[in-house]
Amino acid sequence: MVFFDPHTDPKPGFIKEPTGSGIIMDSHGDRIFGRYLSPALYSEDERRPVVIMCHGMPGQEQNIDLAQALRRAGCFVIYFWYRGVWGSHGHYSFSHQIEDVHTVVDYVRSGKTGLPIDTDEIYLFGHSMGGFASLNALATGLKVKKVFLLAPCNICYRQLFEKDKLAGLTTTKDNGYYNLERYTILEDELDEHENDWFFPNLVERLPRDIPYTILCGMQDTVCPADTHVMPMLEKMQTLGFDVQYMEHDDGHSFHASRLWLASTVLKAFQDR
């Protein structure tokens, strides 16, 4: 698959110009909203890879600059909003996040987009809680070609958080981000699923026939790598996973490294 320079606009000669539009998908009876970005296409029968981007919690950081860079490099990109946040219908929950990743990948694979996507080249990108959703979707049967996890969040509080500190992240009493079925749903889910969602416990259920790239920030105080990632990474390495781990001197959202980050994400998808 030929990729283009993500730091330049499309070269002349394309027969289909870059475009983009909103999309609506059904996820378990609720409508979730997203958007696709289409790259420049240079032949009628050309099919290109697609990157599905899974945002964090609550989703203020959408990594749209990365989406645009991937589009310039020749990929279709789909980013979306989970049920119960940013206008998507239904109730937000961690379980729904995982289900919604399945929904979007199934939607793309079904051909319902109407876009010339190479469905054998579906790549998954997950940032923070999007990394949590991506890993758990993979552990429950999701099939993709490649995975990039940016500062993935292992949300299981008994291992990594004090419950009162986690409450500031999960409550709607002080913010309007989430449409929850009930205030306690997120903590209730963690009580129920903390063992099977805990990253090291996921590893044996993850597919081993795809490459994983994990990038963490050395200054990340939200999801520090030593607690959120390293126990899982060590187990993946012991079991022979194709996993590449990188660290960079930046924080959780990589605000100071956006050009470097775009090149790194593309290189991981292109070379592995």
Answer yes or no: is 168 within a domain.
yes
Q: What is the CATH number of the domain that holds 61?
A: 3.40.50.1820
Residue 58 lies in a domain: yes
Would you say residue 2 lies in a domain? Answer: no
Residue 3 lies in a domain: no
233 in a structural domain: yes
The answer to whether the pTM exceeds 0.85 is: yes
User: Is 178 domain-assigned?
Assistant: yes
Q: Please report where in the chains the tokens 């319902």 appear, as a residue.
A: 112
Q: Give the residue ranges of DSSP H helices in the chain.
A: 64-72, 94-109, 129-139, 157-160, 163-170, 185-197, 199-202, 225-228, 230-238, 258-271
Are 77 and 37 a contacting pair, CB within 8 Å?
yes
Greater confidence (184 vs 266) lies with 266
Domain assignment present for 180: yes
The count of structural domains within the chain is 1
pLDDT digits (tens, 9 = 90+) for 49-90: 999 999 998 888 899 999 999 999 999 999 999 999 999 999
149-205 pLDDT, tens digit per residue, is 999 999 885 556 656 656 656 555 555 678 888 877 888 898 899 899 999 999 999
Three-class HEC string of 14-31: CCECCEEEEEEEEECCEE
pLDDT for the residue numbered 128: 95
How many whole angstroms separate alpha carbon 143 and alpha carbon 105? 8
> Helices 94-109 and 185-197 meet at what angle, rounded to 10?
70
* Whether the predicted pLDDT of 114 surpasses 90: yes
Is residue 98 one of the residues assigned to a domain? yes
Residue 18: Cβ-neighbour burial (10 angstroms; 0-12, 13-18, 19+) = middle
Domain coverage including residue 87: 19-271
